[in-house]
Amino acid sequence: MPDFDLVIRNARAVTASDLFDCDIGVKDGRIVQLGQGLAAGAREIDAAGRHVTPGGVDAHCHLDQPEPPPIRMADGFDSGTRSAACGGTTTVIPFALQQKGQSLRDAVADYHRRADGQAHVDYAFHLIVSDPTPTVLGEELPALIREGYTSFKIYMTYDSLKLDDGQILDVLAVAREHGAMAMVHAENAECIEWLSRRLEAAGRTAPRYHAHARPMLVEREATHRAIALSELVDVPILIVHVSGQEAVEQIRWARAHGLHVFAETCPQYLFLTAEDLGIDDSYEGARCVCSPPPRGRENQQVIWRGLADGLFTIFSSDHAPYRFEGGEGKHPGGEERPFRHIPNGIPGLETRMALLWSEGVMAGRITPNKFVELTATNPAKAYGLHPRKGSLSVGADADLVVWDEREFVLRNTMLHHDVDYTPYEGMHLSAWPAVTLSRGEVVWDGAAFRGTRGAGRFLRCGQPTLLPRRRG
Ligand code: DUC
Ligand code: ZN
Ligand code: ZN
């Protein structure tokens, strides 16, 4: 009987702190030994000097969220987690979204129905709290936190989701009392509404005006306000999808004042600019309509610097998948619509890891350790999944990526989502996963998807471990 179900030989193992050569022994889906010259495994993969990292934890993605007809998200848990696996992501944390008037418990039950038996890799849920009634604040949210839904997103914009400042304070107080992580979408709703109406009145409705309706000022103001609200309640927050300089400055200010403000950014703020929404009134730019919008090119350097120097805690995709063609996505009802009515979001689950390994690690902008920290270890810690997830260590789940460092041109035809485009079409990349393992099983072999629908398990999250525990 072999000692291991699987041995990965000759790995250049990368963790958030170390880089070392070893064999990795796997049994019953977990890493059970790291060492040199391990005994035989029932299966063996020769990594021959290749980097091996923990599988990615994509802590911000939207799958199968209900939308007002005719809009429909292109990816559910089947295609979304298939594409995650092929891109080296082995844990996803999408959102269970509470509609206004809906109980939070019903929202969670609905998302479980959507995910049950569909996923190829493991998944947890963040909550989206859009209706913080006394029952939600006093009963449902505390109970759900205890049951393993330990993070929730709050929106400062979008009419159907946004909370006012008093509601945000109420929700943050629950996060403080019960040890949850509050994620904040920081954009000023009133400013966006005012600007959008003026743009529309002037006939400026092409996709590129989406960026004019959401300038960096609206993100800066809301980021500042979110920081102040969290300071008032004395609770950590995590600002999601930070897009550029002005929000970064607010977060640096908060950190310098000793506040526990964490930050996430996404590939669109490294690789897209406002020009991708269009330089004229063409509708092509609808593909890249997302919020906050991509900014001017100089902001890309600001985001790279923040990734390298520790300003950012997490690198997520904010995968929000809508097809460009047809009437269910970027052309609602089959038509070109004013920017306000274009569904917000771009696909990115499958490309997140390779974009950062290729343009971050291989291009010398960040270390391999920083890559692991941003894409796997920190998201697992922030959302209470560490060290089972996001870790290449004895006892962790054998969620691993063996990297293939070779040049190629990215095409949407290579991807496994159900979206008909990638915003990164034609990019020259120099890395892609050669193998992805989910709990020791090959789900991507470098050429084909090898997963099994339903093999992905639901994960209950513990308390965030990015900070030391509070006493009492
Ligand atoms: N912005 C969000 O806040 N969520 C989904 C996609 C987007 O662009
Ligand atoms: Zn958001
Ligand atoms: Zn989002």
Cis previous bond, 332, omega within 30: no
Q: What is the DSSP string of 285-307?
A: GGGG--SSPP--THHHHHHHHHH
Residue 186 alpha carbon to ligand 2 centre in Å: 8
C-alpha–C-alpha distance, residues 418 and 423, integer Å: 14
Buried b / exposed e along 366-398 (16+ C-beta atoms within 10 A) = bebbbbbbbbbbbbbbbbbbbbbbbbbeeebbb
Tell which atom from ligand 1 comes closest to the C-alpha of 158: 3
Q: Can you read off the two tokens belonging to residue 232?
A: 């008032």
Cβ 320 under 6 angstroms from ligand 1: yes
Intra-chain end-to-end CA distance of the chain, in Å: 49
**How high is the pLDDT of residue 2?**
85
C-alpha–C-alpha distance, residues 442 and 396, integer Å: 16
Output the residue whose Cα is nearest ligand 1's atom 4: 345
Output the residue whose Cα is nearest ligand 1's atom 2: 291
Residue 317 alpha carbon to ligand 3 centre in Å: 8
Output the residue whose Cα is nearest ligand 1's atom 1: 291
Cβ 344 under 6 angstroms from ligand 1: yes
Cis previous bond, 387, omega within 30: yes
Residue 441 alpha carbon to ligand 2 centre in Å: 33
- The residue to mutate among 318, 322, 330, 339, having the most atoms of ligand 1 within 8 angstroms of its beta carbon, is 318
Tell which atom from ligand 1 comes closest to the C-alpha of 290: 8
Cα 75 from chain centroid (whole Å): 15
Residue 300 alpha carbon to ligand 1 centre in Å: 19
Residue 415 and residue 351 in contact, taking contact as beta carbons nearer than 8 Å: yes
C-alpha–C-alpha distance, residues 242 and 219, integer Å: 8
Q: Is 353 helix (H, G, I), strand (E, B) or coil?
A: helix
Backbone angles phi, psi at 396, to 5 degrees: -75, 155
State the virtual CA torsion across 306, 308, 313, 318 in degrees, nearest 10. 70
Residue 251 alpha carbon to ligand 2 centre in Å: 17
The closest of 86, 94, 466, 166 to 310, measured between CA atoms, is 466
Residue 288 alpha carbon to ligand 2 centre in Å: 15
Cβ 345 under 6 angstroms from ligand 1: yes
What global pTM score does this model have? Answer: 0.98
C-alpha–C-alpha distance, residues 126 and 384, integer Å: 11
H or E stretch including 369? helix 368-372
- The residue to mutate among 61, 62, 239, 277, having the most atoms of ligand 1 within 8 angstroms of its beta carbon, is 62
Residue 189 alpha carbon to ligand 1 centre in Å: 14
Burial of 255 (0-12, 13-18, 19+ CB in 10 A): middle
Place of tokens 């999408």: 94
pLDDT tens, N- to C-terminus, the chain (472 residues): 789 999 999 999 999 999 999 999 999 999 999 999 999 999 999 999 899 999 999 999 999 999 999 999 999 999 999 999 999 999 999 999 999 999 999 999 999 999 999 999 999 999 999 999 999 999 999 999 999 999 999 999 999 999 999 999 999 999 999 999 999 999 999 999 999 999 999 999 999 999 999 999 999 999 999 999 999 999 999 999 999 999 999 999 999 999 999 999 999 999 999 999 999 999 999 999 999 999 999 999 999 999 999 999 999 999 999 999 999 999 999 999 999 999 999 999 999 999 999 999 999 999 999 999 999 999 999 999 999 999 999 999 999 999 999 999 999 999 999 999 999 999 999 999 999 999 999 999 999 999 999 999 999 999 999 988 776 5
Nearest ligand, measured from the Cα of 73: 1
Cβ 318 under 6 angstroms from ligand 1: yes
C-alpha–C-alpha distance, residues 74 and 348, integer Å: 12
Q: Is 45 helix (H, G, I), strand (E, B) or coil?
A: strand
Q: Can you read off the two tokens belonging to residue 164?
A: 């006012």
**How high is the pLDDT of residue 467?**
87
- The residue to mutate among 162, 291, 322, having the most atoms of ligand 1 within 8 angstroms of its beta carbon, is 291
Residue 170 alpha carbon to ligand 3 centre in Å: 22
C-alpha–C-alpha distance, residues 157 and 193, integer Å: 9
Residue 212 alpha carbon to ligand 2 centre in Å: 18
**How high is the pLDDT of residue 219?**
98
Q: Alpha helix (H) ranges present in 179-266?
A: 189-201, 209-213, 216-233, 245-256
**How high is the pLDDT of residue 164?**
98
Residue 98 alpha carbon to ligand 2 centre in Å: 14
Output the residue whose Cα is nearest ligand 1's atom 3: 291
Cβ 62 under 6 angstroms from ligand 1: yes
Write the single-letter amino acid at 173. A
- The residue to mutate among 97, 153, 218, 241, having the most atoms of ligand 1 within 8 angstroms of its beta carbon, is 241
Tell which atom from ligand 1 comes closest to the C-alpha of 155: 3
Residue 144 alpha carbon to ligand 1 centre in Å: 24
H or E stretch including 126? strand 126-128
Nearest ligand, measured from the Cα of 186: 2
Helices then strands (H, E): number in the chain?
Answer: 14, 20
Residue 345 alpha carbon to ligand 1 centre in Å: 5
Cis previous bond, 94, omega within 30: no
CATH of 56-373, one of 2.60.40.290, 3.20.20.140, 3.90.1150.10, 3.30.930.10: 3.20.20.140
Cβ 290 under 6 angstroms from ligand 1: yes
Residue 439 and residue 398 in contact, taking contact as beta carbons nearer than 8 Å: yes
Q: Is 90 helix (H, G, I), strand (E, B) or coil?
A: strand
**How high is the pLDDT of residue 422?**
99
Cβ 291 under 6 angstroms from ligand 1: yes
Partners of residue 228 on adjacent β-strands? none
